[in-house]
Structure 1
């Protein structure tokens, strides 16, 4: 089932502090969608470009996970690059956490590829055990329900679909890349948690390489230079002792060594940035790597 709510700058969504109206982004829509196989409800946030109402053009479309944080960031940066830096205009689609779930609970379940072998995690939702390992099922929800809904409701070019993720969101991107790479055409993956489940994505990459000669996608990897292991500590495939920069360099080098047909990867390490600060830079450079205006 699907419903849509329209939002415009200056409209009142609900009362804020002392009756003040909430701030709402202009040219945005919120759509409710039920994930049939998952039996969960989500929201999809959509931002339309400035020229959307002017003609019949079909636009590249960005799909961004962790939308509660990332949607306004991606929408605003993409809009600014289009207005002032010559980038193509795009439609931005934000993928929310499941309704009724805390963000941490929802993303742990939906974005991770496996249930971790050493599972010492505690739930942030009282009375519910933490859940993991449903990235494959969530990916099917995206391809079977979200993408067709966007294709039918908006003037988008579904041959130019971009996935944007960070941290656990990048694990979801890698799950898609190594299982159904044609789901998206370009992947912007920031600071992927390659330490997860003792480095399970390294295993997945090796398994893919054994049975495939092609990997049809372009990938922009970005990470902060400060996402390093502290001096004196021994690197391992654990969250506590992971060197995320070296993990990503190793993963990218492995992909390049396979010489997959159709695969293009770029890796950028951003000086003076850490896991919390690097996402806007990863996004900006990842968009520039793919969306160059023809004007």
Structure 2
């Protein structure tokens, strides 16, 4: 398991512009001494498919109220990134963080097609972008089933294994995962206390998330959000276009137009009681910002501003 975690660290970081040489200081032995990385598979009751849950146990004893916990979507990629940030000898208070990655039973960092389905609302065909390979069928509409899986199976599985503080849960997502993170805040905001939406795909399905946002804003008038609710939105500044036929490239550009995380953050600044932070990675792309956003998530989960 430790060899797997270290291998995944190198794979995940190299996929986002960080060279393996930069990660070589974290070896299997140093991880072993500091924190315990394990994984287990869960079959989702509603979808009938297996997911891989990555669980990082702190070396230190739990605080009086239980460990704070950070749930990372795309866990195959993001858990190794987070462990790189925490390191073998984490400074206080980061060593007390339980890290949970929700991923897939695969060897690579991402299961692109399954994450499309798990993180999106039902999407009309005219709003579905061209697939990366030009032939795969993109299925959508599984976000409510996935949210139920997280709430009723993943969280209980973690909390039966470790003493967790249920008032210190953080959810991180990037891209479609960032969109999902906002959806959870808007519709079931008491499930987590801290949310991070890294470059959220606000454009998805004709910006359908803005309807849930409007309903959230209406419900929040006067009463605000549950005490202690915090949200970090981060965006990237450099566009890296994937190679597509001209017609597909133009269509994708049109689909991705409209509001971004920046405009959403400005709108949510009016929500009473919401502890809101915004950070723009002006010199980073959608992909290269991911390990930086993961690092910011650790700091934000402990009440500290992103760098």
TM-score class, shorter-chain normalisation, is 0.7 to 0.9
Q: CA deviation at 1:218?
A: 0.6
Query: Partner residue of 1:199?
Result: 207
Q: After TM superposition, list the pairs within 5 Å mapping 1:72-151 onto structure 2.
A: 72-79=80-87, 83-84=90-91, 87=94, 89-97=96-104, 103-118=111-126, 119=128, 121-122=130-131, 129-151=137-159
Query: Partner residue of 2:76?
Result: 68
Query: Partner residue of 1:234?
Result: none
Q: Does 1:256 pair with 2:264?
A: no
Would the alpha carbon gap of residues 290 and 56 (structure 1) be closer, same or farther in structure 2, given more than 3 Å must change?
closer
Quick one: higher RCO (CA 8 Å, sep 6+), 1 or 2? Answer: 2
Q: CA deviation at 1:290?
A: 3.2
Distance between the aligned counterparts of 2:214 and 2:63, measured in 1?
Answer: 46
Would the alpha carbon gap of residues 192 and 239 (structure 1) be closer, same or farther in structure 2, given more than 3 Å must change?
farther
Give the secondary-structure state (helix, strand or coil) at the position aligned to 2:208.
helix
Q: Does 1:226 pair with 2:238?
A: yes
Q: Say which of 21, 38, 48 aligns to 2:47.
A: 38
Structure 2 alignment gaps of length 5 or more: 8-26, 242-250
Superposed CA offset, 1:75-97 (max 9, x none): 221346x7247545201011013
Would the alpha carbon gap of residues 225 and 129 (structure 1) be closer, same or farther in structure 2, given more than 3 Å must change?
closer
TM-score (norm 1): 0.77
Q: Say which of 244, 253, 257 aligns to 1:240.
A: 253
Preserved CA contact (<8 Å) 2:68 2:169:
yes
Distance between the aligned counterparts of 1:9 and 1:120, measured in 2?
Answer: 37
Distance between the aligned counterparts of 1:279 and 1:184, measured in 2?
Answer: 21
Structure 1 alignment gaps of length 5 or more: 1-6, 14-22, 230-237
Q: CA deviation at 1:155?
A: 2.0
Let me know the Cα RMSD of the aligned residues.
3.3
Give the secondary-structure state (helix, strand or coil) at the position aligned to 2:187.
coil
Distance between the aligned counterparts of 2:98 and 2:6, measured in 1?
Answer: 23
Q: CA deviation at 1:133?
A: 1.5
Q: CA deviation at 1:176?
A: 0.6
Distance between the aligned counterparts of 1:11 and 1:292, measured in 2?
Answer: 28
Give the secondary-structure state (helix, strand or coil) at the position aligned to 2:284.
coil
